[in-house]
Amino acid sequence: MAAQAEFIWFNGELMPWADAKVHVLSHAIHYGSSVFEGVRAYNTPKGPAIFRHQEHTQRLFDSAKIYRMKVDVTAQQIMDATKEVIRANKLNNAYIRPVIFYGDIGLGLRVKDDAKTDVSIAAFEWGTYLGDDALEQGVDVGISSWNRLAANTMPTGAKAGGNYLSSQLIGQEAKRHGYQEGIALDINGYISEGAGENLFIVKDGKLLTPPTTAAILPGITRATIMHLAQQRGIEVVEQSLPREALYLADEIFLTGTAAEVTPVRSVDGIQVGCGSRGAVTTTLQKDYFDLVKGVSEDKNGWLDYVE
C-alpha cells in the first residue's frame, strides 16, 4: 500500500508505514473478524484536536465486547498511542483508523476465548470523503436494492470489518448507477442509512432521522448533529421513515466522521428541495465545522488536544 504517512502504531510500537504487515492467513482477512473506528483530528487555534476521542474509543471497545474479543491494551493506551501517531507523522488534520483484529491465530473459524488480538492505529491526511464539491453542492444518491442487515443476523451497532461487505454492495451499486452514494432500507422497508453515513431529513422545520432499530450504526456525528440541532431549537425526532419521505423532504444530509455533513441534492433522480444545500443543512454543517475546528466554544469537552 502506498505510504500515506511515515509511521503506524502496531502492537505497542511505532513503525514505518511499509513495515506494518500481517500474514495472508490472518483470521480477519478470511472471516472479517476485526473491529475498527474512523476518527478525525482537526487543526484548531490551539493545534490539532481529536474530535470525540473518548466516544470513538468507547465504541471500539464496545464493538470488541460484542464479539467477545480480548483486548490487551486499555482505552487510555489507545488514546495515548493515537496522539503519538499524529505527532510522529506531524499531522495537523488527520483521519485516524484504529483496528483490533484476529491475526495469526490459525484458520479455525471458532476463536478461543483467550485468542490474541492485534491492534494497529494509522493516522494520515484524508480530504472530503464524498468528493471535493460534495460539502457545498451536495451528492446524488440512490436507494439500494440491498437491505441493511437484519438485527438478529449481525449487529449493526458494532463497527466490525465484516459489516462492511454490506456497505460495499450498497456503495458499488450506487456508483454503477451513477450516484455518489447508496441509501439502504432496513429489512422492514424503512430508511436505514448510507453505506458509511447516517441520514437526516429536514421536513417542516423538524429534523427526522431513523432510530437505532433501523439497523444503523449509531454514529457519533449523528449524535453531535442531534445535539447541535437541539441547541439551535430545532426539534429532532427519531422515527421510522418510509422511502417516500426522501422524495418529499425539504432537505436531506448525510453524517459521518469521514463524510462530515454532506448535503443530498437528489434521491433516485428526484430533486430534493431546492436541489442544493438547504438552509438548515448549511447552519448545522457550519456549526459542526466550527465545533470540530475549535472556532466555537467546546462546551462539552469534545476536543482532545494532541499536544
3-state SS, 153-195, equals: CCCCCCCEHHHHHHHHHHHHHHHHCCCCEEEEECCCCEEEEEC
Closest to ligand PMP by CB, 111 vs 214, is: 214
The answer to whether the Cα torsion of 251, 255, 259, 261 is positive or negative is: positive
- Which of 46, 112, 159, 293 is an active site residue? 159
Residue of 119, 220, 229, 249 interacting with ligand PMP (CB under 6 A): 220
The answer to whether the Cα torsion of 124, 130, 134, 135 is positive or negative is: negative
185 binding ligand PMP? (CB under 6 A)? no
209 binding ligand PMP? (CB under 6 A)? no
Q: How far apart are the C-alpha atoms of 93 and 260, rounded to whole Å?
A: 14
Residue 85's nearest CA partner among 123, 133, 130 is: 123
Closest to ligand PMP by CB, 167 vs 262, is: 167
181 binding ligand PMP? (CB under 6 A)? no
198 binding ligand PMP? (CB under 6 A)? yes
The C-alpha R_g of the chain, in whole angstroms, comes to: 19
Residue of 34, 255, 262, 285 interacting with ligand PMP (CB under 6 A): 255
197 binding ligand PMP? (CB under 6 A)? yes
- Applying CB under 6 A, which part among 41-49, 102-110, 194-202, 232-240 lies near ligand PMP? 194-202
Q: Which of residues 25-64 bind ligand PMP (CB under 6 A)?
A: 38
Strand, coil or helix: 280: helix
- Applying CB under 6 A, which part among 102-110, 218-226, 230-238, 285-293 lies near ligand PMP? 218-226
**159 among known catalytic residues:** yes
Q: How many CB atoms lie within 10 A of CB 43?
A: 16
Site residues, ligand PMP (CB under 6 A): 38, 167, 193, 196-198, 217, 219-222, 255-257
